Amino acid sequence: MKFGNMKPHRRRRLYVVLFLVVTSSAAVGLTLMALNENINLFYSPQQIASGEAPVGKTIRAGGVVVPGSLRRDESSLLIEFDISDLKTAPLRVAYTGILPDLFREGQGIVALGKVNQQGIFVAEEVLAKHDENYMPPEVAAAIAAAHGESE
């Protein structure tokens, strides 16, 4: 950017440039920090079962909701269900709240939450896209990987 060609402005210009450099590098640093704190890695049910996923850290997990596994608590909004990569042992998910409209057994879902000490995935958010043919790509890849490895 040009701040004009007047001589007395030279020094001021230097200050401005210095200011911009300092603030922008601080901004870039902070941004990258925030970015790294807020990325949520995806883990497949198999990876979680084998203990690959960190306990107590927010991650994403996904799989197909195992038909017949959905259970509701009688007195609260607690819901439990299993998700699976259709090969390895299913992962138990606990969620309190209202499920998205397109949540269905047999549907691929991705959930955001934490693995607790008991190995249950406690979800804060369950995502199911508004399209009945939708398969989250993470889930598709997890299924493909599970079948590829064990056969």
Partner 1 sequence: MIPELGHFALILALGLSLTLAVLPMWGVIKDNRAWMRSASSLAAGMFVFVSISFACLIHAFLQDNFSVDYVARNSNSQLPDIYKVSAVWGAHEGSFLLWILVMSGWTLAVSVLSGSLTLDMRARVLAVMGALSTGFILFILFTSNPFERSLPVFPADGNDLNPLLQDFGLIVHPPMLYMGYVGFSVPFAFAIASLLSGRLDSAWAKWSRPWTNTAWAFLTIGITLGSWWAYYELGWGGWWFWDAVENASFLPWLVGTALIHSLAATEKRGVFKTWTVLLAIFAFSLSLLGAFLVRSGVLTSVHAFAVDPKRGLFILGFLVIVIGGSLTLFAVRVAHIKSKAGFDFTSREALLLVNNMLLVVAAAIVLLGTLYPLGYEALTGGKKISVGPPYFNTIFVPVALVLFAFMALGPFSRWKRTPIEVYRKSLLPLLAISAVIALLFALLYGDSFSAWVVICVFLAALLGTGLLLDGYYRIRSKTAGARLAAVFKQTPSYYGMWIAHLGIAISVIGVCMTSIYSDERDVRMTPGDTVTMGAYEFRLVGVQRIKGPNYIADRGNIQVSKNGEYLLDLHPERRKYLVKGNVMTEADIDPGLFRDLYVALGEPVGTMGAWAVRVHYKPFVRWIWFGGLCMMLGGLITVFDRKYRLVSALKKQRNWVTDTAEVSNA
Partner 2 sequence: MSKPSLFVPLGVFALLAMLLAAGFGLDDPHHLPSALIGKPMPEFELVDVLNPDRVIRKEDLLGHVSLINVWATWCPNCVVEHPQFLEISRQGSIRVIGVNYHDDIEKAQQWLQKYENPYWVSVADTEGTLGIDLGVYGAPETFVMDAKGYIRYRHVGPVTRNVWLDTLLPVVDAVKREQVEQTAARG
Nearer to partner 1, 40 or 118 (CB): 40
- For residue 135, the minimal CB distance to partner 2 (Å) is 5
CA dihedral of residues 82, 83, 86, 87 (deg, nearest 10): -80
One character per residue 81-120, x = contact with partner 1 (rule: CB under 8 A)? ---------------xxxx-xx---------x--------
Distance CA(3)–CA(12), nearest Å, equals 9
DSSP 17-38: HHHHHHHHHHHHHHHHHHHHHS
Taking the C-alpha atoms of residue 149 and residue 32, their distance in angstroms, rounded to an integer, is: 35
Relative to beta strand 71-72, strand 108-115 is unpaired
128 is a site residue for partner 1 (CB under 8 A)? no
Piece of the chain touching partner 1 by CB under 8 A; list 47-55, 85-93, 114-122, 130-138: 130-138
Residues that bind partner 1 (CB under 8 A): 1-6, 9, 12, 16, 20, 24, 27, 30-31, 34-35, 37-42, 58, 60, 72-77, 96-99, 101-102, 112, 130-138, 141
